[in-house]
Structure 1
Amino acid sequence: MVVAAQPTRGVDVGSIEFIHNQLIAARDAGGAVLLVSAELDEILSLSDRVAVMFGGKIVAILDANEAERGLVGRLMAGLSA
């Protein structure tokens, strides 16, 4: 299992690509990857599932195909889907 918390914060573009590729490789090798990031685009582009939190609690778990920016944003703000 890989736990990556803010893995690309403060790094250059080349390093971001390298980090993303390492996370994808870990997933493709059958490992579990838990990505915690404030970068919504990063989450949406790398995740198979997205757990959305509001008020310290998980309010939704979405498959990647249903986790669109507007819906995730509303859930993060405590609004209903």
Structure 2
Amino acid sequence: MKNAAVNATTAIADGVSSLLGGSKVKRLEAENENLRQDIANLQKQVQAEQREQTKMENRHNSEINKIDWNYQQKSGNTTTDWNR
């Protein structure tokens, strides 16, 4: 049953290919492959940007902590209540 469905699908695809012209189908398949590669590259770029953002956030938080620590040392305050 599955083989018959696969054969029918293949026959339909071959028929469509001959109707549309084999070169058009090949061109569209190549374009689809290029688009898949573009998507993969963009996904890698997004991941790299997310990693960079995380690094920047960590550096930012570290700097805030240093400033807060320095402030506490100078003021003699050991706790900071930012909600006052």
TM-score of the superposed pair, with normalisation by structure 1: 0.24
> Computing the radius of gyration over CA atoms, which structure comes out larger, 1 or 2?
2
Of Structure 1 and Structure 2, the greater helix share is in 2
The higher-RCO structure (CA 8 Å, 6+ apart) is 1
Higher normalized strand content (fraction of residues): 1
